[in-house]
Amino acid sequence: MGLKDKLTELKKNALEEINNAKDLKKINDIRVNVLGKKGPITEVLRGMRDLPKEERPNVGSFANKVRDELSSAISERKERIEIIKTSKRLEEEKIDVTLPGVPVKTGQPHIIMQVIDQIEKLFLGMGYQVVDGPEIEEDHYNFEMMNLPKDHPARDMQDTFYITDKFLMRTQTSPVQARTMEKHDFSKGPLKMISPGKVYRRDTDDATHSHQFHQIEGLVIDKNITMADLKGTLQLIARTVFGKEREIRLRPSYFPFTEPSVEVDVSCFKCSGEGCSVCKHTGWIEVLGAGMVHPNVLKMSGIDADVYGGFAFGLGPDRFAMLKYGVDDIREFYLNDMRFLKQFSQRG
């Protein structure tokens, strides 16, 4: 067999092998075997030495052509194998985007925070500032500045956890009143603030007591503030939280930091005043304490009580939430039982 025939035969076999190759390793082996230094083409080219001179260019270019053809057949096949591999992978990795997704569990604010948010929104809308105060408070602010000197009997109602003689867990958000008044610059306008937060009492936990609960303090100081301003504000709170039809009534009461002081009742949202178990058949529910800021409190915070005056109120978001949602045990709010808390989803 002449060299050309040998090459043709070799090409035929090699092409067949190339086209049957299924993976990159196989195609690489073929390349090394067929085109490599020890391969048959090199062998043929080496055999050209024995050919007559005039035949050499002819056979030589034929051999080169065969080598080029095989070389591009190998490249093509290699490319093809890669494409098949990729499409196989794509096939495997295919996802069905029309399948229903896995629901993402999102949380929600705690029921107490929902009540606080609602009241914050109401007051922010009326230009009040929302102020934070420390939960570890000085006796000075928690009591003294609130007109409760050392031996004042009203301190008994608010026993708490003392950290040192000077520091205690605050029993009320009222000290934020003093802290805010001290800093306020009246040349910039009246003082209007609310201050929500946690408070502490040395109480044994039961259905209506918790050693930790929440309050929202409210304070307005300006010239010419009257009890009518206080009443209007309280009515707004009652109607925002308990419904548009609610009325309020004020009963005389006592707080050391207000004079006069009032206890605020809201008309029963359950029976609208006819009498039911929620309002204990009185038609009214006690919801918060308030009053006109005591001149002593103003003076202690450096405010001229002959020029300025104002009102204050303190309400309990825990109590509001209990009334509004019919929760009969305050401890539920602090047990973190998701079955309980989930009932108050804002998303309904």
Cβ-based nearer residue to ligand DAH, 258 or 301: 258
For ligand DAH, the binding residues in 148-177 under the rule CB under 6 A are 172, 174
Q: How far apart are CA 118 and CA 114, in angstroms?
A: 6
Q: Is 118 exposed, middle or buried (0-12, 13-18, 19+ CB in 10 A)?
A: middle
User: For the purposes of burial, counting CB atoms within 10 Å of the CB of 5, is it exposed (0-12), middle (13-18) or buried (19 or more)?
Assistant: exposed
Nearer to ligand DAH by Cβ, of 217 and 265: the residue is: 217
Least distance (Å) between residue 307 CB and ligand DAH: 21
Interface of this chain with ligand DAH, residues 238 to 267, rule: CB under 6 A: 255, 258
Tell me if 309 sits within 8 A of 298, measured CB to CB: yes
Residue from 17, 137, 139, 217 that binds ligand DAH (CB under 6 A)? Answer: 217
Is 259 part of any known ligand binding site?
A: yes
Contact 260, 292 (CB under 8 A): yes
User: Which of 32, 51, 52 has its CA nearest to residue 42?
Assistant: 32
| Least distance in angstroms from the C-beta of 243 to ligand DAH | 23
- Name the residue with the smallest CB distance to ligand DAH: 314
One of 133, 196, 291, 317 touching ligand DAH (CB under 6 A): 291
The contact mask relative to ligand DAH for 177-216 (x = CB under 6 A, - = no) is ----------------------------------------
Backbone angles phi, psi at 169, to 5 degrees: -80, 125
Compute the least distance from the CB of residue 106 to ligand DAH, in Å: 35
259 has which bridge partners? none
Which residues ranging from 305 to 344 are in contact with ligand DAH (CB under 6 A)? Answer: 312-314
The single residue among 44, 148, 264, 290 that binds ligand DAH, judged by CB under 6 A, is 290
Token pair of 178 as six digits: 């003093």
Q: What tokens appear for 299 in the block?
A: 């003076």
What the block records as the tokens of 41 is 């083409």
Residues of each annotated binding site for Mg(2+): 259
